[in-house]
Amino acid sequence: NKHVIRGKSGVEQVKLLDRFNNKTTTGTLYLTATHLIFVESNVPGAHEIWILHHHIASVEKLSLTTSGCPLLIQCRNFRVVHFVVPRERDCHDVYSSLLRLLRPVSYDELYAFSYNPKQNEQQREVGWQLIDLTAEFERLGLPCDQWQLSDVNRDYKVCETYPRDLYVPITASKPIIVGSSKFRSKGRFPVLTYFYQEKKAAVCRCSQPLSGFSARCLEDEHMLQAISKANHNSRFVYVMDTRPKLNALANRAAGKGYENEDNYSNIRFQFVGIENIHVMRASLQKLLEVVGTRSLSVNDYLLGLESSGWLRHIKAIVDAAIFLTKAVTVEGASVLVHCSDGWDRTAQVCALGALLMDPYYRTLKGFMVLIEKEWISFGHKFADRCDQLDGDPREVSPVFTQFLDCVWQLMEQFPQAFEFSEWFLIQLHEHVHSCQFGNFLGNSQRQREELQLKDRTYSLWAHLLSEQHNYLNPVYSPSFAERHPVLEPSTQPWNFKFWRNMYHQFDRTMHPRQSILKHTLTLKESNSKLEDTAHTLQAVSSYLLSSPLRCTNTPLQSLSSLHDSSPDAPDGNGGERTVEGSSATENGYGELQSSFSSKNEPAMVSLEFGVARMTC
Amino acid sequence: MEFAELIKTPRVDGVVLHRPFLPTVEGTLCLTGHHLILSSRQDNTEELWLLHANIDAIEKRFIGSLGTIIVKCKDLRIIQLDIPGMEECLNIANSIEALSTLDSVSLMYPFFYRPMFEVIEDGWNLFLPEEAFKELESMTDEWRLSEVNKDFSICPSYPALVTVPKDIDDDSLCKAATFRHGGRFPVLSYYHKKNGMVIMRASQPLTGTSGRRCKEDEKLINATLRAGKRGYIIDTRTIAVAQQAKARGGGFEQEANYPQWRRIHKAIERTNILQESLIKIVEACNDHSNSMDRWLSKLEASNWQSQVKEILTTACLAAQCIDREGASVLVHGTEGTDSTLQVTSLAQIILEPACRTVRGFQALVEREWLQAGHPFQQRCAQSAYSNEKLRSEAPVFLLFLDCVWQILRQFPCSFQFNEHFLVMLFEHTYASQFGTFLGTTAAERVKLKLSQKTVSLWSWVNRPQELERFLNPLYEPNSLVIWPSVAPQSLLLWEGVFLRWNRSTKCLDEAYEEMVHIIEYNKELQLKVWVRSSAAGQRRFMGPCISHMHILSL
């Protein structure tokens, strides 16, 4: 079902230029309803690149060169491809088709509604039931004597961007809730999002109060009082405004702002200074510009890293999460977290804080629950932030990417704390933008229900769980969680690093050529197979002892298949081969004049592990 | 001189030792001729034994009668000693200062150290040039071992035996030596089995401003080229620096006189700049008050990572010439004892799988650094903290180790040794009980009678019980050339050296242990399956499994 481009099935003789070296590949470009596909020509086992239209952030037609018309495509998963199409007319066709395809205007056009993984209705339904937030709150010990499930938002009447089920203090009556919600931006009144059972301390979230310069709201004050009273361990509740103070001050002029400590009897107010979505968008853009530079010097790289501010922002989020964690786990105080609307910075800080406090969220399934809760159900605007539909570019921001980056930084410090590896994070990032599954579509639960996603699309969680063996961390230790229920990361600046495997996930020449993660994961998988084989063999040998004429070859098959799949197997024939993906000319060590013979490099093998495999 | 003269107070009780990430220890401080020892005199606590030679700088502070000495070590560790009594503290401080700055080599600890272990394999005899040449002879007859420098008179910084083209006689070598800085005429550094191409190294030619030339030198390096072939000269200096060198009698090979060679200039910095770079990066890593931006800008300002990239790039270029272009290479800088050796030795790591084994790497260090005349004693006299005026200190070898570590990080399964091995070498170049890194040249080492009077580092390292710590569990021999990425995004800060004392590595160490466990368990299971399948009479089917058995038989 490949799209026909002006009477042809594909555009031939298209050159793909590597963005960091002079390597070019020639192949054919195809366009389907969902993907742009490049197939390398004249190579056995040809290399293919599949680019989902939804992943394309921008398409640019550069000025004509002697070899053809260049087309630069930048993707949200940080893939950058540079094609040169021999004929200008073909290039224009591809360009205009892409422009039409890459910005859907209605949800119905998204891939998720046509994607069919060949599952039946029942399987689809089961997939959507895998992550259950009611069970999650039960796990946290809720409802309890101080916190109850409120039905006030059952019909999304009080707050349309909140989920239906909300947990509030038992002393917070309906009029207090409704009153408080009217005093909060977008009606996002304070509700519980995490409960630290050991100290009966709650993490609550909301949006900024509509306080302006002097407005106050008794119901809202009551609401905070109720949160405070629900925790006997502490006489006060922390209010964390995750914005820089200046931003909060500026908001007062627009009738918004922050809590006045004089009006709220028992709060401790604190700014933590995470920048807004616009600063973050610009920061990532600058970062990508810097690391996308050819022949980048070390000093330009480090200066660029600094001036992009990206790592400073990542550190600010981690610092805020540590503050939250300490308040809850050490002081036993409840904390109310907000920013402006309470769906970006608030989600980052609450989710990261919960991850530090509760080892369950560091398991594969627990992490899904965490995302489902803090991000999906509480209305992080995935559609707007990830630019799913043609919308306001000022709404786009890498807020969720930053959260994943923070988690990766923690993984680097605590390699045994997480059940999953960075490949899982990269895969999540892939699908937040792919619109292949229903989970991240839309901006709120209400909207997702209207779109009937559970009936019309599939759940990513089921898909990820079905191939979870790829995402496991081989050195994960459940006993680590027992020894370190609360993670206490160091925030020395050197602990915050550029996440190369995320932002350069498609630039294989920059990766280590042998992956310890892949190697160890394979060995661990092989260990469980070997255990089975050893077991079987023992049974066989005792069986053979009793009836020596019988023979079986089952263990042999499993063994040889095991060996075939072992990674990084040294290649005996030496010769011209190099270690996979490692070649002299692709690294640009130096320009050797062409007066000397230059040889062709062996074709580079692309390892697209941890990157979406398209199932069409 | 008696050490006792320098030690006024040999013992103080009630001294408190502070170390980052470790509990404080209270105990007795003792000074001996070579060590600072702190013992709590309890059985279960670890004692501190610090070589005076490892002390780079000290600071004294007094609060009332309580004195504090901050001891800054060459391995970059910083410890604090609280000493009751002002006089005791001053005495101790003065003794440490005197003992840690002794100039005489013969007073160094290696001359006093008696091993507590039996030397089974003497490291001094492990890597003799004759042996290396035998191996070369088995591959090619184009080279010979010359004794022209047997009394170290032609080139004081070369070993007694050097490998040179067969067709060049000793007289020509003598003449070529007069044309090269410090007499370092071109000699063989590496022979690439696969295509017979070679890396040669030398020092700069003494062309001077008048454009001197030397027929013997030209003939010597041309003799390394096969008929119709051309080669590359990699000058590790920028063209500007090389030009300036002419005014001081140095220079570079003029195209007109070396028509078969193409010269490439790179920009590896001179030694004093490298030392500044080390001081800055260590300062940045020790400052715990840095904001994110300040950290990044200090890291940038230190230029350390830039040096790593430049050295690695130059080495890759040399390897590329050899393996991809099929052209031989001559490498030099100014003296040919620093950047030259970084490039030639790293190129071998990239090209030659044998250099990635423990033994092979030791042989490389012997051949390309010790015998090749890297002046370890001068370069490693001071480290990053010293307040003394710099003489010719420079972290040349540390940068080489850093580059090796970068390659190791990118090819974690291709090296038989691990990071600890590299860190250990770094430590021993600055302060050691072994004589291996004493002296500046092969000639001096002979004069000092190191092989008779001191123990070789290799004698200790190669003992199975020591070696175990330095082996990489992920190692799978691979016969390929390994091309590292030199993009800034691929180069990392060597935390194992620079942040070693500034962070707790408990979580990282435990994770490493778990990885080792997975690997060991895999071997164990393989064995179990093999044994059981043999027992089941199926041994002849177990082909694929056998390849794993060589690991077990080690």
Average per-residue pLDDT in chain A?
88
CB pairs under 8 A between A and B: 248
Cα distance between residue A318 and residue A491, in whole Å: 8
pLDDT of amino acid A362: 98
Q: Per residue in A64-111, pLDDT tens? A: 999 999 999 999 999 999 999 999 999 999 999 999 888 889 999 999
In a mutational test of the A interface, the residue from B485, B491, B523, B548 whose CB has the highest number of chain A CBs within 10 Å is B485
Here the ipTM equals 0.94
Locate A85 and state its tokens. Answer: 């199409």
**Interface contact flag, B306 A480, Cβ < 8 Å:** no
For B114, list phi and psi in degrees, rounded to 5: -115, 125
Residue type, B198: V
Domains and CATH numbers, chain B: 3-102 (2.30.29.30), 123-501 (no CATH)
Catalytic residue among A206, A339, A350, A386: A339
Instruction: Pick the closest to residue B299 from A33, A428, A358, A498 (CA basis).
Output: A498
Q: Give the Å distances, CA to CA, from A312 to A265, A536, B362, B491, B543.
A: 34, 55, 42, 20, 54
Cα distance between residue A372 and residue A365, in whole Å: 10
Nearest CA in chain A to B504: A490
Does A343 carry a binding-site annotation? yes
Does A18 carry a binding-site annotation? no
Nearest CA distance, A230 vs chain B (angstrom): 36
DSSP secondary-structure letter at A600?
A: P
Locate A411 and state its tokens. Answer: 């993984």
pLDDT of amino acid B537: 63
Helices vs strands, H then E, count in chain B: 22, 14
Does A120 carry a binding-site annotation? no
Sign, CA dihedral A359-A360-A361-A367, equals positive
**Interface contact flag, A494 B528, Cβ < 8 Å:** no
All residue ranges of chain A with pLDDT < 50 are 1-2, 4, 548-578, 593-616
Locate B173 and state its tokens. Answer: 């070598």
In a mutational test of the B interface, the residue from A318, A491, A497, A530 whose CB has the highest number of chain B CBs within 10 Å is A530
**Interface contact flag, A514 B503, Cβ < 8 Å:** no
pLDDT of amino acid A257: 95
**Interface contact flag, A291 B541, Cβ < 8 Å:** no
Locate A188 and state its tokens. Answer: 């996002």
**Interface contact flag, B491 A298, Cβ < 8 Å:** yes
Residues 113-142 of B with CB under 8 A from A: none
Q: Per residue in A380-396, pLDDT tens? A: 999 999 999 998 999 99
pLDDT of amino acid B531: 87
Nearest CA distance, B338 vs chain A (angstrom): 20
pLDDT of amino acid A5: 56
**Interface contact flag, B488 A297, Cβ < 8 Å:** yes
Cβ of residue B254 closer than 8 Å to a chain A Cβ = no
pLDDT of amino acid B137: 95
Nearest CA distance, A337 vs chain B (angstrom): 24
Q: Give the Å distances, CA to CA, from A529 to A392, A448, A535, A543.
A: 52, 42, 10, 21
Q: Is the pTM of this model over 0.95?
A: no
Note down pLDDT in tens along chain B; length 554 residues: 678 889 999 999 999 999 988 889 999 999 999 999 999 877 777 789 999 999 999 999 998 889 999 999 999 999 999 999 999 999 999 999 999 998 889 999 999 999 999 888 999 999 999 999 999 999 999 999 999 999 999 999 999 999 999 999 999 999 999 999 999 999 999 999 999 999 999 999 999 999 999 999 999 999 999 888 999 999 999 999 999 999 999 999 999 999 999 999 999 999 999 999 999 999 999 999 999 999 999 999 999 999 999 999 999 999 999 999 999 999 999 999 999 999 999 999 999 999 999 999 999 999 999 999 999 999 999 999 999 888 899 999 999 999 999 999 999 999 999 999 999 999 999 999 999 999 999 999 999 999 999 999 999 999 999 999 999 999 999 999 999 999 999 999 999 999 999 999 999 999 999 999 999 999 999 999 888 888 766 544 444 443 443 333 33
Report the side by side order of strands in the sheet with B55-63: B48-51, B35-39, B22-31, B11-19, B78-84, B66-73, B55-63
**Interface contact flag, B514 A556, Cβ < 8 Å:** no
Query: Which residue's structure tokens are 């809202």?
Result: A220
In a mutational test of the B interface, the residue from A515, A571, A579, A591 whose CB has the highest number of chain B CBs within 10 Å is A579
User: Which residue in A315, A520, A537 is closest to B529 by CB distance?
Assistant: A537
pLDDT of amino acid B443: 95
Instruction: Pick the closest to residue A38 from A108, A94, A89 (CA basis).
Output: A94
pLDDT of amino acid A544: 66
